[in-house]
Amino acid sequence: AAMRRQSRLEAMASRVSLLLSLCLALISVAFAWLPGPSLFGAPALRTGARAGVTSICMGRKGAQTGQGGGNTRTVTREKKKKSGGGPTVTKVKKVKGVDVTKSFILNKLDTATKDNFASEILSEKVEKFMTEEAGSSMYPRLMKKIKAKANFLGVSVPDRWAYEALANKYQREKLAEKIDAANAPAEEEDGAEAAEEEAAPA
């Protein structure tokens, strides 16, 4: 009797294991035919405009622009939704105390005329921005646009206007070194000639 019970239990266990394996096989086949991502696959990265904006705006501090040393300003960003739904867009908040920006100069260039070019573009605050806050990539582009607009209007930009800027400090120093190195042999020759004249008998 004990052997019969044991054989029955073994038969039942084999049947249960067979049923479980069949159920698992059917489930895997069903999921393979279902539309959409697989439940067993690795999660995919989110793409699209909204995902990019969320990754940029959330958990980030304000970006710092400028050359530093008291001239740096912090630009913070906020998320805003378009009316009627749609993707999330970002807008830069206006920083208090900063009057001149790159967009400010570009807008002034678009509306500048021959009469107001000097007062709007060649003003003291624009020159201060160019010399103290414009970076090494922004400075030459803005200068090129300003000179091109001046040529188009038939006006001139003063020589060395906004020339001594933080953005081109390295280039100015290298240029000065080259000029000094080129003038050094001529100065030595002049000194040698003066010494020979003094040593010559009267």
Query: Which position has the higher pLDDT, 35 or 146?
Result: 146
Lowest mean pLDDT among 15-19, 91-95, 113-117: 91-95
What is the Cα 147 distance to its own chain's centre?
A: 25
pLDDT, tens digit, for every residue of 160-176?
Answer: 899 889 989 998 899 98
Residue 4 pLDDT grade (very low, low, confident, very high; cuts 50, 70, 90): confident
Question: Region 56-67: what's the mean pLDDT?
Answer: 45
pTM to 2 decimal places: 0.46
- From first CA to last CA, the distance across the chain in angstroms is 146
pLDDT top residue among 186 and 26: 26
> Which tokens go with 181?
């190195």
**In sequence order, which residues have a C-beta less than 8 Å from that of residue 102 and are 6 or more positions away?**
134, 138, 142
Question: What is the C-alpha to C-alpha distance for residues 98 and 188, in angstroms, rounded to an integer?
Answer: 51
* CA 172 to chain centroid: 25
Nearest to 96 by CA among 73, 113, 123: 73
- In sequence order, what DSSP letters do the residues of 81-133 get, joined into one string? EPTTS--EEEEEPPPTT----HHHHHHHHHH--TTTHHHHTSSHHHHHHHHHT
Residue 128: C-alpha distances to residues 34, 161, 172 (Å): 64, 11, 18
CB 73 within 8 A of CB 95: yes
pLDDT bracket for residue 110 (50, 70, 90): very high
Tell me: the pLDDT tens digits for 65-99? 444 444 445 555 555 555 665 555 555 444 445 57
Which residue reads 């960003």 in tokens?
Answer: 77
Q: Which two structure tokens, joined as six digits, stand for 46?
A: 């989110």
CA 29, 30, 35, 40 torsion: positive or negative? negative
